[in-house]
Structure 1
Protein backbone atom coordinates (compact mmCIF):
# COMPACT_ATOMS: atom_id res chain seq x y z
CA UNK A 1 0.00 0.00 0.00
CA UNK A 2 1.39 3.41 -0.94
CA UNK A 3 1.35 6.41 1.36
CA UNK A 4 1.25 10.02 0.31
CA UNK A 5 4.39 12.00 1.10
CA UNK A 6 3.37 15.12 3.02
CA UNK A 7 6.82 16.72 2.99
CA UNK A 8 6.60 19.47 0.33
CA UNK A 9 10.40 19.52 -0.11
CA UNK A 10 10.89 15.78 -0.51
CA UNK A 11 12.78 14.80 -3.67
CA UNK A 12 14.81 11.91 -5.04
CA UNK A 13 18.54 12.34 -4.35
CA UNK A 14 21.81 10.40 -4.23
CA UNK A 15 24.34 9.40 -1.58
CA UNK A 16 25.48 12.93 -0.74
CA UNK A 17 21.89 13.89 0.02
CA UNK A 18 21.42 10.71 2.06
CA UNK A 19 24.48 11.58 4.15
CA UNK A 20 23.03 15.02 4.87
CA UNK A 21 19.61 13.53 5.59
CA UNK A 22 21.20 11.32 8.25
CA UNK A 23 21.95 14.48 10.23
CA UNK A 24 18.21 15.02 10.69
CA UNK A 25 17.62 12.94 13.81
CA UNK A 26 14.30 14.33 15.03
CA UNK A 27 10.86 14.54 13.39
CA UNK A 28 10.49 18.22 14.28
CA UNK A 29 12.83 20.99 15.47
CA UNK A 30 12.43 24.27 17.37
CA UNK A 31 13.17 27.22 15.08
CA UNK A 32 16.49 28.13 16.73
CA UNK A 33 17.77 24.56 16.53
CA UNK A 34 16.68 24.21 12.91
CA UNK A 35 18.58 27.37 11.99
CA UNK A 36 21.74 25.97 13.62
CA UNK A 37 21.33 22.78 11.61
CA UNK A 38 20.76 24.36 8.17
CA UNK A 39 24.45 24.98 7.27
CA UNK A 40 25.27 21.35 8.04
CA UNK A 41 22.50 20.19 5.71
CA UNK A 42 23.72 22.21 2.72
CA UNK A 43 25.31 20.01 0.05
CA UNK A 44 26.26 22.91 -2.23
CA UNK A 45 29.74 24.33 -2.72
CA UNK A 46 28.30 27.85 -2.99
CA UNK A 47 26.47 30.00 -0.47
CA UNK A 48 23.06 28.36 -0.63
CA UNK A 49 19.70 29.98 -0.08
CA UNK A 50 17.52 29.22 2.94
CA UNK A 51 14.10 28.10 1.72
CA UNK A 52 10.83 27.67 3.57
CA UNK A 53 7.76 25.69 2.55
CA UNK A 54 4.57 26.38 4.49
CA UNK A 55 1.49 24.21 4.01
CA UNK A 56 -1.77 26.06 4.63
CA UNK A 57 -5.08 24.40 5.54
CA UNK A 58 -6.89 26.02 2.62
CA UNK A 59 -9.18 25.12 -0.24
CA UNK A 60 -7.39 27.00 -3.00
CA UNK A 61 -10.52 27.04 -5.16
CA UNK A 62 -12.21 29.34 -2.63
CA UNK A 63 -11.43 33.06 -2.93
CA UNK A 64 -11.90 33.67 0.81
CA UNK A 65 -9.17 31.13 1.66
CA UNK A 66 -6.33 32.44 -0.50
CA UNK A 67 -3.22 33.63 1.34
CA UNK A 68 -1.19 36.44 -0.19
CA UNK A 69 0.88 38.96 1.70
CA UNK A 70 4.20 40.80 1.75
CA UNK A 71 6.88 40.93 4.42
CA UNK A 72 9.95 43.08 4.97
CA UNK A 73 12.66 40.64 6.02
CA UNK A 74 14.79 42.33 8.71
CA UNK A 75 18.02 41.15 7.08
CA UNK A 76 16.87 40.91 3.46
CA UNK A 77 17.21 37.86 1.22
CA UNK A 78 20.88 38.21 0.37
CA UNK A 79 19.96 38.49 -3.29
CA UNK A 80 20.36 41.49 -5.57
CA UNK A 81 16.88 42.46 -6.78
CA UNK A 82 16.58 44.30 -10.09
CA UNK A 83 13.54 46.59 -10.00
CA UNK A 84 11.85 48.22 -13.00
CA UNK A 85 9.59 51.21 -12.39
CA UNK A 86 6.73 52.39 -14.60
CA UNK A 87 6.54 56.04 -13.64
CA UNK A 88 5.81 59.43 -15.25
CA UNK A 89 8.73 61.52 -16.48
CA UNK A 90 8.94 63.61 -13.30
CA UNK A 91 9.59 60.49 -11.17
CA UNK A 92 12.17 58.77 -13.36
CA UNK A 93 15.20 60.28 -11.62
CA UNK A 94 13.75 59.62 -8.15
CA UNK A 95 13.01 56.00 -9.06
CA UNK A 96 16.57 55.46 -10.28
CA UNK A 97 18.03 57.10 -7.18
CA UNK A 98 15.92 54.72 -5.07
CA UNK A 99 17.56 51.78 -6.83
CA UNK A 100 15.48 50.98 -9.92
CA UNK A 101 17.60 49.54 -12.74
CA UNK A 102 15.00 50.69 -15.27
CA UNK A 103 12.52 53.55 -15.01
CA UNK A 104 10.23 55.08 -17.61
CA UNK A 105 6.83 54.81 -19.25
CA UNK A 106 6.16 54.54 -22.99
CA UNK A 107 9.82 53.89 -23.82
CA UNK A 108 10.11 51.15 -21.21
CA UNK A 109 6.86 49.55 -22.35
CA UNK A 110 8.11 49.49 -25.95
CA UNK A 111 11.41 47.88 -24.97
CA UNK A 112 9.56 45.14 -23.09
CA UNK A 113 7.18 44.63 -26.01
CA UNK A 114 10.26 44.18 -28.21
CA UNK A 115 11.55 41.46 -25.88
CA UNK A 116 13.90 43.24 -23.48
CA UNK A 117 13.23 42.07 -19.91
CA UNK A 118 16.23 42.57 -17.63
CA UNK A 119 14.59 42.93 -14.21
CA UNK A 120 13.21 40.68 -11.45
CA UNK A 121 10.21 42.70 -10.28
CA UNK A 122 8.22 45.70 -11.49
CA UNK A 123 6.43 48.54 -9.73
CA UNK A 124 4.05 51.09 -11.20
CA UNK A 125 2.05 54.15 -10.28
CA UNK A 126 -1.71 53.46 -10.59
CA UNK A 127 -2.32 55.90 -13.44
CA UNK A 128 0.10 54.04 -15.73
CA UNK A 129 -1.47 50.62 -15.24
CA UNK A 130 -3.81 51.10 -18.21
CA UNK A 131 -0.77 51.54 -20.46
CA UNK A 132 0.65 48.21 -19.30
CA UNK A 133 -2.20 46.43 -21.08
CA UNK A 134 0.03 46.24 -24.16
CA UNK A 135 2.53 44.06 -22.30
CA UNK A 136 0.23 42.47 -19.71
CA UNK A 137 0.52 38.99 -21.24
CA UNK A 138 4.32 39.20 -21.45
CA UNK A 139 4.69 40.38 -17.86
CA UNK A 140 1.98 38.06 -16.55
CA UNK A 141 3.60 34.93 -18.00
CA UNK A 142 6.81 35.77 -16.16
CA UNK A 143 5.08 36.76 -12.91
CA UNK A 144 6.23 40.37 -13.32
CA UNK A 145 2.91 42.21 -13.62
CA UNK A 146 2.59 44.87 -10.89
CA UNK A 147 -0.32 44.27 -8.53
CA UNK A 148 -1.98 46.28 -5.75
CA UNK A 149 -2.16 43.09 -3.64
CA UNK A 150 1.61 42.73 -3.68
CA UNK A 151 2.19 46.42 -3.02
CA UNK A 152 3.79 46.98 -6.42
CA UNK A 153 1.06 49.32 -7.69
CA UNK A 154 1.32 52.38 -5.50
CA UNK A 155 1.63 56.15 -5.48
CA UNK A 156 4.55 55.69 -3.07
CA UNK A 157 6.65 54.08 -5.77
CA UNK A 158 10.00 55.36 -4.47
CA UNK A 159 9.30 53.87 -1.04
CA UNK A 160 8.25 50.59 -2.67
CA UNK A 161 11.51 50.40 -4.64
CA UNK A 162 13.57 51.01 -1.50
CA UNK A 163 11.69 48.29 0.40
CA UNK A 164 12.10 45.78 -2.43
CA UNK A 165 15.83 46.49 -2.59
CA UNK A 166 16.11 45.97 1.17
CA UNK A 167 14.35 42.60 1.10
CA UNK A 168 10.57 42.92 0.88
CA UNK A 169 9.15 39.72 -0.56
CA UNK A 170 5.71 38.48 -1.54
CA UNK A 171 4.26 35.28 -0.08
CA UNK A 172 1.46 33.47 -1.87
CA UNK A 173 0.13 29.93 -2.04
CA UNK A 174 0.44 27.63 -5.02
CA UNK A 175 -2.46 25.44 -6.19
CA UNK A 176 -1.58 22.84 -3.54
CA UNK A 177 -1.92 25.37 -0.73
CA UNK A 178 1.83 25.65 -0.11
CA UNK A 179 3.82 28.87 0.21
CA UNK A 180 7.33 28.42 -1.20
CA UNK A 181 9.76 31.27 -0.61
CA UNK A 182 13.25 32.17 0.60
CA UNK A 183 14.32 33.88 3.82
CA UNK A 184 18.03 34.52 3.45
CA UNK A 185 21.40 32.97 2.70
CA UNK A 186 22.92 30.10 4.66
CA UNK A 187 25.89 32.38 5.43
CA UNK A 188 23.61 34.77 7.36
CA UNK A 189 24.05 32.65 10.47
CA UNK A 190 21.40 31.23 12.76
CA UNK A 191 20.33 34.47 14.49
CA UNK A 192 19.60 36.44 11.32
CA UNK A 193 17.89 33.48 9.68
CA UNK A 194 15.72 32.97 12.76
CA UNK A 195 14.72 36.65 12.81
CA UNK A 196 13.87 36.56 9.11
CA UNK A 197 11.83 33.37 9.45
CA UNK A 198 9.96 34.71 12.48
CA UNK A 199 9.06 37.90 10.58
CA UNK A 200 7.87 35.85 7.61
CA UNK A 201 5.72 33.42 9.58
CA UNK A 202 4.24 36.27 11.62
CA UNK A 203 3.22 38.06 8.40
CA UNK A 204 1.52 34.88 7.21
CA UNK A 205 -0.26 34.50 10.55
CA UNK A 206 -1.45 38.10 10.29
CA UNK A 207 -2.73 37.46 6.75
CA UNK A 208 -5.02 34.59 7.80
CA UNK A 209 -8.13 34.68 5.56
CA UNK A 210 -11.55 34.75 7.20
CA UNK A 211 -12.61 31.69 5.21
CA UNK A 212 -10.10 29.32 6.84
CA UNK A 213 -11.55 27.63 9.92
CA UNK A 214 -9.75 25.48 12.46
CA UNK A 215 -6.02 24.84 12.11
CA UNK A 216 -4.35 27.36 9.80
CA UNK A 217 -0.70 26.38 9.26
CA UNK A 218 -0.40 22.61 8.84
CA UNK A 219 3.37 22.33 8.54
CA UNK A 220 6.56 24.32 8.05
CA UNK A 221 9.71 22.87 6.47
CA UNK A 222 13.02 24.68 5.98
CA UNK A 223 15.88 23.57 3.75
CA UNK A 224 19.03 24.79 2.03
CA UNK A 225 19.02 25.14 -1.77
CA UNK A 226 20.69 21.74 -2.05
CA UNK A 227 19.97 19.55 0.92
CA UNK A 228 17.21 17.90 2.95
CA UNK A 229 14.41 19.74 4.68
CA UNK A 230 13.54 19.70 8.37
CA UNK A 231 10.15 20.22 9.93
CA UNK A 232 9.93 23.26 12.19
CA UNK A 233 7.79 23.86 15.26
CA UNK A 234 6.55 27.46 15.31
Structure 2
Protein backbone atom coordinates (compact mmCIF):
# COMPACT_ATOMS: atom_id res chain seq x y z
CA UNK A 1 0.00 0.00 0.00
CA UNK A 2 1.21 3.55 -0.69
CA UNK A 3 2.55 5.45 2.28
CA UNK A 4 0.02 7.98 3.51
CA UNK A 5 1.00 11.56 4.35
CA UNK A 6 1.05 13.15 7.80
CA UNK A 7 -2.33 14.86 7.33
CA UNK A 8 -3.96 11.53 6.53
CA UNK A 9 -2.29 9.90 9.55
CA UNK A 10 -3.54 12.75 11.77
CA UNK A 11 -7.04 12.30 10.34
CA UNK A 12 -6.97 8.57 11.13
CA UNK A 13 -6.09 9.37 14.77
CA UNK A 14 -9.09 11.71 15.03
CA UNK A 15 -11.50 8.94 14.01
CA UNK A 16 -13.10 6.37 16.26
CA UNK A 17 -13.24 3.45 13.82
CA UNK A 18 -15.58 1.47 16.05
CA UNK A 19 -18.21 4.22 16.03
CA UNK A 20 -21.00 4.95 13.60
CA UNK A 21 -22.09 8.58 13.50
CA UNK A 22 -25.33 10.31 12.56
CA UNK A 23 -25.24 12.58 9.49
CA UNK A 24 -24.65 15.82 11.40
CA UNK A 25 -21.84 14.32 13.50
CA UNK A 26 -20.18 12.80 10.42
CA UNK A 27 -20.21 16.13 8.56
CA UNK A 28 -18.87 17.98 11.59
CA UNK A 29 -16.06 15.46 12.00
CA UNK A 30 -15.19 15.55 8.29
CA UNK A 31 -14.97 19.34 8.41
CA UNK A 32 -12.63 19.15 11.42
CA UNK A 33 -10.12 16.84 9.73
CA UNK A 34 -6.89 18.29 8.24
CA UNK A 35 -7.53 19.81 4.81
CA UNK A 36 -5.54 19.40 1.61
CA UNK A 37 -4.22 22.43 -0.27
CA UNK A 38 -7.16 22.23 -2.72
CA UNK A 39 -10.92 22.16 -2.25
CA UNK A 40 -11.62 18.47 -1.74
CA UNK A 41 -14.73 16.79 -3.15
CA UNK A 42 -17.00 15.23 -0.52
CA UNK A 43 -18.52 11.87 -1.51
CA UNK A 44 -21.07 9.47 -0.13
CA UNK A 45 -20.55 5.73 -0.59
CA UNK A 46 -23.55 3.52 0.22
CA UNK A 47 -23.70 -0.27 0.03
CA UNK A 48 -27.24 -1.46 -0.60
CA UNK A 49 -28.94 -4.74 0.26
CA UNK A 50 -29.87 -5.53 -3.33
CA UNK A 51 -28.44 -7.65 -6.13
CA UNK A 52 -27.90 -5.42 -9.16
CA UNK A 53 -27.58 -8.48 -11.41
CA UNK A 54 -31.38 -8.69 -11.28
CA UNK A 55 -33.32 -6.14 -13.32
CA UNK A 56 -35.94 -5.73 -10.59
CA UNK A 57 -33.27 -4.78 -8.02
CA UNK A 58 -31.56 -2.01 -9.96
CA UNK A 59 -31.21 1.31 -8.15
CA UNK A 60 -30.68 4.27 -10.45
CA UNK A 61 -31.91 7.82 -10.51
CA UNK A 62 -31.02 11.46 -10.09
CA UNK A 63 -31.60 14.20 -7.55
CA UNK A 64 -30.99 17.94 -7.52
CA UNK A 65 -28.84 18.71 -4.48
CA UNK A 66 -30.11 21.83 -2.68
CA UNK A 67 -26.67 23.45 -2.75
CA UNK A 68 -25.16 21.84 -5.84
CA UNK A 69 -21.86 19.96 -5.97
CA UNK A 70 -19.51 22.93 -6.14
CA UNK A 71 -18.74 22.08 -9.74
CA UNK A 72 -20.52 23.48 -12.78
CA UNK A 73 -21.06 20.66 -15.25
CA UNK A 74 -20.61 21.01 -18.99
CA UNK A 75 -23.71 19.78 -20.80
CA UNK A 76 -23.89 18.35 -24.33
CA UNK A 77 -27.38 18.21 -25.82
CA UNK A 78 -28.40 16.16 -28.86
CA UNK A 79 -31.40 17.94 -30.36
CA UNK A 80 -32.66 19.57 -33.55
CA UNK A 81 -34.85 22.53 -34.47
CA UNK A 82 -36.79 24.21 -31.68
CA UNK A 83 -35.38 21.82 -29.07
CA UNK A 84 -31.82 22.75 -30.07
CA UNK A 85 -32.72 26.43 -29.66
CA UNK A 86 -34.30 25.64 -26.28
CA UNK A 87 -31.11 23.88 -25.17
CA UNK A 88 -28.96 26.86 -26.14
CA UNK A 89 -31.23 29.29 -24.28
CA UNK A 90 -31.20 27.06 -21.18
CA UNK A 91 -27.40 27.26 -21.03
CA UNK A 92 -26.23 24.02 -22.66
CA UNK A 93 -22.51 24.21 -23.44
CA UNK A 94 -22.72 22.20 -26.68
CA UNK A 95 -25.73 21.49 -28.91
CA UNK A 96 -25.82 19.43 -32.08
CA UNK A 97 -26.77 16.18 -33.77
CA UNK A 98 -24.81 14.10 -36.29
CA UNK A 99 -22.06 16.73 -36.21
CA UNK A 100 -21.44 16.00 -32.52
CA UNK A 101 -21.37 12.25 -33.16
CA UNK A 102 -18.70 12.83 -35.80
CA UNK A 103 -16.68 15.12 -33.50
CA UNK A 104 -16.65 12.49 -30.72
CA UNK A 105 -15.82 9.63 -33.09
CA UNK A 106 -13.13 11.37 -35.13
CA UNK A 107 -11.53 13.66 -32.55
CA UNK A 108 -12.02 11.51 -29.43
CA UNK A 109 -13.64 14.63 -27.95
CA UNK A 110 -15.07 14.38 -24.43
CA UNK A 111 -15.05 17.94 -23.11
CA UNK A 112 -18.43 17.51 -21.38
CA UNK A 113 -19.76 15.99 -18.14
CA UNK A 114 -23.38 15.12 -18.98
CA UNK A 115 -25.19 14.17 -22.19
CA UNK A 116 -28.87 14.99 -22.70
CA UNK A 117 -30.91 13.91 -25.75
CA UNK A 118 -34.43 14.26 -27.01
CA UNK A 119 -36.05 10.81 -27.52
CA UNK A 120 -36.09 11.22 -31.31
CA UNK A 121 -32.29 11.64 -31.27
CA UNK A 122 -31.53 8.37 -29.49
CA UNK A 123 -31.04 6.54 -32.81
CA UNK A 124 -28.21 8.96 -33.57
CA UNK A 125 -26.79 8.89 -30.05
CA UNK A 126 -26.92 5.08 -30.10
CA UNK A 127 -23.98 5.09 -32.51
CA UNK A 128 -21.88 6.32 -29.58
CA UNK A 129 -22.98 3.57 -27.18
CA UNK A 130 -19.58 1.87 -27.16
CA UNK A 131 -17.74 5.05 -26.17
CA UNK A 132 -20.34 6.80 -23.99
CA UNK A 133 -21.52 3.67 -22.17
CA UNK A 134 -18.24 2.73 -20.42
CA UNK A 135 -17.81 6.37 -19.32
CA UNK A 136 -21.29 6.45 -17.78
CA UNK A 137 -22.30 9.20 -20.21
CA UNK A 138 -25.07 7.48 -22.17
CA UNK A 139 -28.38 9.36 -21.80
CA UNK A 140 -31.01 7.43 -19.87
CA UNK A 141 -34.73 8.10 -19.21
CA UNK A 142 -34.35 7.04 -15.55
CA UNK A 143 -31.86 9.81 -14.88
CA UNK A 144 -33.92 12.36 -16.81
CA UNK A 145 -31.38 12.75 -19.60
CA UNK A 146 -33.63 11.39 -22.37
CA UNK A 147 -36.46 13.91 -22.50
CA UNK A 148 -38.31 16.50 -24.56
CA UNK A 149 -38.21 18.76 -21.45
CA UNK A 150 -34.80 20.06 -22.52
CA UNK A 151 -34.92 23.41 -20.73
CA UNK A 152 -35.77 21.79 -17.41
CA UNK A 153 -33.15 19.04 -17.84
CA UNK A 154 -30.31 21.47 -18.59
CA UNK A 155 -31.28 23.87 -15.80
CA UNK A 156 -31.44 21.05 -13.22
CA UNK A 157 -28.01 19.74 -14.22
CA UNK A 158 -26.54 23.23 -13.99
CA UNK A 159 -28.22 23.69 -10.59
CA UNK A 160 -26.49 20.63 -9.12
CA UNK A 161 -28.30 17.50 -10.25
CA UNK A 162 -26.37 14.30 -9.54
CA UNK A 163 -26.98 10.79 -10.80
CA UNK A 164 -26.69 7.71 -8.64
CA UNK A 165 -26.38 4.14 -9.86
CA UNK A 166 -25.05 0.90 -8.42
CA UNK A 167 -21.64 -0.41 -9.36
CA UNK A 168 -21.03 -4.17 -9.73
CA UNK A 169 -20.56 -4.54 -5.97
CA UNK A 170 -23.95 -2.89 -5.21
CA UNK A 171 -22.36 0.35 -3.98
CA UNK A 172 -23.34 3.91 -4.89
CA UNK A 173 -20.58 6.54 -5.18
CA UNK A 174 -21.99 10.08 -5.36
CA UNK A 175 -20.41 13.55 -4.92
CA UNK A 176 -22.35 15.68 -2.42
CA UNK A 177 -20.35 18.92 -2.38
CA UNK A 178 -16.98 20.42 -1.53
CA UNK A 179 -15.15 20.48 1.79
CA UNK A 180 -15.35 24.29 1.73
CA UNK A 181 -19.18 24.06 2.04
CA UNK A 182 -20.45 24.93 5.49
CA UNK A 183 -21.81 22.08 7.61
CA UNK A 184 -25.48 22.91 7.06
CA UNK A 185 -25.15 22.82 3.26
CA UNK A 186 -23.35 19.45 3.32
CA UNK A 187 -25.93 18.04 5.72
CA UNK A 188 -28.84 19.17 3.54
CA UNK A 189 -27.20 17.77 0.39
CA UNK A 190 -26.56 14.44 2.11
CA UNK A 191 -30.11 14.19 3.38
CA UNK A 192 -31.57 15.03 -0.05
CA UNK A 193 -29.48 12.30 -1.68
CA UNK A 194 -30.24 9.66 0.95
CA UNK A 195 -33.97 10.49 0.84
CA UNK A 196 -33.91 9.93 -2.93
CA UNK A 197 -32.03 6.63 -2.55
CA UNK A 198 -34.47 5.40 0.10
CA UNK A 199 -37.45 6.33 -2.13
CA UNK A 200 -35.80 4.38 -4.97
CA UNK A 201 -35.80 1.14 -2.94
CA UNK A 202 -36.92 -1.68 -5.27
CA UNK A 203 -39.95 -3.66 -4.09
CA UNK A 204 -37.90 -6.82 -4.69
CA UNK A 205 -35.33 -5.74 -2.07
CA UNK A 206 -35.60 -7.87 1.06
CA UNK A 207 -33.91 -7.43 4.44
CA UNK A 208 -31.77 -4.42 5.30
CA UNK A 209 -31.69 -1.96 2.39
CA UNK A 210 -28.99 0.45 3.55
CA UNK A 211 -26.15 -1.91 4.52
CA UNK A 212 -23.41 0.65 5.12
CA UNK A 213 -22.84 4.36 4.50
CA UNK A 214 -19.46 6.09 4.41
CA UNK A 215 -18.68 9.78 4.07
CA UNK A 216 -15.27 10.76 2.66
CA UNK A 217 -13.45 13.64 1.08
CA UNK A 218 -10.70 13.33 -1.54
CA UNK A 219 -7.87 13.06 0.99
CA UNK A 220 -9.64 11.88 4.14
CA UNK A 221 -10.36 8.41 5.55
CA UNK A 222 -13.96 7.22 5.52
CA UNK A 223 -16.38 8.16 8.29
CA UNK A 224 -19.11 5.58 8.94
CA UNK A 225 -22.72 6.79 9.15
CA UNK A 226 -25.28 4.75 11.05
CA UNK A 227 -27.74 3.47 8.39
CA UNK A 228 -30.50 2.91 10.97
CA UNK A 229 -30.61 6.65 11.66
CA UNK A 230 -31.24 7.48 8.00
CA UNK A 231 -34.37 5.53 7.04
Match of 2:71 among 79, 87, 90: 79
* Residue 14 of structure 1, CA deviation: 4.3
Partner deviation per Cα, 1:63-88 (whole Å, 9 max, x = no partner): 21121111110000001100000011
Is residue 2:27 matched to residue 1:60?
Answer: no
Residue of structure 1 in register with 2:215 after alignment: 222
Distance in 1 separating the partners of 2:194 and 2:7:
30
Contact 1:48 1:224 survives alignment (8 Å): yes
Q: CA deviation at 1:133?
A: 2.6
The answer for the alignment partner of 1:93 in structure 2 is 85
Distance in 2 separating the partners of 1:188 and 1:35: 10
Residue 12 of structure 2 is aligned to residue 21 of structure 1: yes
**CA 1:54–1:148 in structure 2 vs 1: closer, same or farther (change >3 Å)?**
same
Which blocks of at least 5 consecutive residues in structure 1 are unaligned?
Answer: 1-10
Q: 2:165 matched to which residue of 1?
A: 172
1:8-44, Cα deviation, whole Å (9 max, x unpaired): xxx9734431211111136111211111111222541
> What is the SS of the residue equivalent to 1:187?
coil
Q: What number of residue pairs does the alignment pair up?
A: 224
How far does the alpha carbon of each residue in 1:187-215 deviate from its partner, in whole angstroms, 9 at most, with x for none? Answer: 11110000000000000000000111121
Hey, what does 2:105 align to over in structure 1?
113
| CA displacement at 1:186 relative to structure 2 | 0.9
Aligned-CA RMSD value = 1.6
TM-score (norm 1): 0.91
Distance 1:91 1:62, change over 3 A: closer
Aligned partners of 2:47, 2:127: CA distance in 1, in Å?
36
Mean Cα deviation higher: 161-170 or 83-92: 83-92
Structure 2 CA distance, aligned partners of 1:188 and 1:48?
10
Q: Which residue, out of 22, 43, 47, partners 2:39? A: 47
The aligned runs of 1:164-203 (5 Å cut-off) are 164-203=157-196
Point out where structure 2 has 5 or more consecutive residues left out of the alignment. Answer: none
- Residues 50, 184 of structure 1: 8 Å contact kept: yes
For residues 51 and 166 of structure 1, the distance between their equivalents in structure 2, rounded to whole angstroms, comes to 18
Q: CA deviation at 1:182?
A: 0.8
